[in-house]
Structure 1
Amino acid sequence: MNFRLLLLCCIFLCISNVQAQETTETLLTEAYAKAQAENKNVFVKFEASWCGWCKRMQTQMKDSELAPLFDANYVIVTLVTKETKRLKGLENPGAFELLEKHKGVKAGLPFWLIFDAKGNLIGDSLDAEGNNLGCPSAVNEVSVFLETLQKTSNLSETELQMIGETFRSE
């Protein structure tokens, strides 16, 4: 009897941990509504669990000094895509299609897009030559990143410098 109870508990725990990821459409609809209410833009970042540069960008954006700057200017949406077969369940349905629509499939991860509160694209991670900045770290990549942030936010020059120093220093 104890074995059956233990087995039943294990099955219940396994089932309760399996959750479908929210769809891209749902996440974006919620983000646009929040962005309109808070007078912000929407920063969409595509990532995968295997992507070291994605983790680095996530860490930098959540830095104790930078997180308030990003949060004051953007509603941030993280979409998981391009996972390995074993981890496909982590993907947000529709993320790959959005990535494809904005020419990000072959660009690599992380890939990011910035939309206004109405869903119009106002910035992306492609430089003038069409190369993905990803998680910017080189001086020229960080410069393009900061230009994009400047055009799509109310960040001050001092705040942009703080972001630039963090992204260049790691």
Structure 2
Amino acid sequence: MNLKNLLFAVITVFTLHTASAQTTPPSADEVIKEAMKEAKAQKKKVFIKFSASWCGWCHKMDASMNEPDMKPLFDKSFVMRQLIVMESKGKENLENPGAADLMKKYNSEGFGIPLWFIFDADGKLLVDSHLRPEGVGMEVKGKNIIGCPASKDEVDAFVRALKLTTKLTDIELAKIFARFRQNDPTYKAPVVNKAK
């Protein structure tokens, strides 16, 4: 074998190895099955959030939920998982296969992200992030979604969803409300008068 053929063989093997090392993210079904199994073992619910690398509101929601005083509140109630959808051109390889189909399955096609669902450990959808008039069931598609809660209406709906699906106390829910209202750039936190 001459040097030219040897070099070609080495480059081919390296290229094939590199290509196979770029793994496909787990499918939405795999992510959800694993989360349901964990939730069942820990007696929790499953919080699935749809996200993308370019989505600023998705990152804002992640940051809000992962703050040191917020993370324990979500972790004690949920197995948290993220599914990647709607990636920008050239980054489609980051998407979880089947995640867009899951959005369609739960009547959420055509909405932006972040979009989120809360399931019980058996896979029953308990709450979604659609904004609907009070008393309207999940079989009716909302006119919009909560996304990353920021406005008063969005945060109210988010806290209602948490109240329905967790054992968080009123004080804990109030902390979540206060934190997520800070995501609204027009929000002015109430001034607390400490002088008596």
- C-alpha deviation, 1:127, in angstroms: 1.5
The 1-side partners of 2:89 and 2:18 are apart by: 20
Which protein shows a greater Rg?
2
Post-superposition CA distance 1:78-109 (Å, at most 9, x none): 00011123101000011000011112221110
Partner of 1:119: 123
TM-score computed with the length of structure 2 as normaliser: 0.78
Question: Which residues of 2 match residues 20-59 of structure 1 at below 5 A?
Answer: 20-59=24-63
Q: Structure 1 unaligned runs (5+)?
A: none
Post-superposition CA distance 1:9-41 (Å, at most 9, x none): x85895475121011111111111111111100
The 2-side partners of 1:11 and 1:151 are apart by: 52
TM-score computed with the length of structure 1 as normaliser: 0.90
User: Highest relative contact order (Cα 8 Å, sep 6+), 1 or 2?
Assistant: 1
Equivalent pairs: percent with the same residue? 38
Task: State the AA in 2 paired with 1:71.
Answer: D
Name whichever structure is richer in helix by fraction.
1
The alignment of Structure 1 onto Structure 2 pairs a total of residues equal to 167
Q: Over the residues paired in the alignment, what is the CA RMSD in angstroms?
A: 2.0
The 2-side partners of 1:84 and 1:61 are apart by: 24
The 2-side partners of 1:31 and 1:74 are apart by: 9
Partner of 1:135: 148
The 2-side partners of 1:36 and 1:44 are apart by: 15
Residue 102 and residue 165 in structure 1: after superposition, are their counterparts in 2 closer, same or farther (change >3 A)? Answer: same
